[in-house]
Amino acid sequence: MKSASIVTVFFLILCLFFMNEITAQDSSFVLKTGKVKTYYPTYTGNGHFSISSSQLGTQPTESYMINFYDEGTDDIPRIAALPEWNEINYFNGKKWINDVDINSEEITNYKQTLNMYGGYLETAYSWIN
């Protein structure tokens, strides 16, 4: 009976330890910026496909796939970009979002977060016109 209670207590402590590991997130895995004017693209991928980011998150950008090369005669193989498939363009009745000057006052509250722990890139801003 005593060994069963020791095993139960050990199991509960082990569960609490792993629950803490699952819910905890190291802040060094999260990169944030609020600067839209000095922007450096981010590349996110899963080992098979990757894509670069854009300032607003709506412009088309290059994407890549493993083992996909461009090679001509008498040339060396180079990594080839896939077609730009990720454009999302919003129209508010007056203007398309991708036609907005990124340095204008139309884009406010800009924030981009790269969560390397969760594996996603989040872009948020207000579009004022």
Reported as a single tens digit per residue, the pLDDT across 12-53 is 554 555 554 444 556 778 888 888 777 778 888 888 888 888
Q: What is the Cα–Cα distance from 91 to 83, expressed in whole angstroms? A: 23
| pLDDT tens per residue, range 80-112 | 888 888 899 999 899 999 998 888 888 889 999
Record the pTM: 0.66
Q: Which of 128, 124, 90 is nearest to 107 (CA)?
A: 128
Q: What is the Cα–Cα distance from 28 to 124, expressed in whole angstroms? A: 20
Please give the residue that has the higher pLDDT: either 28 or 3: 28
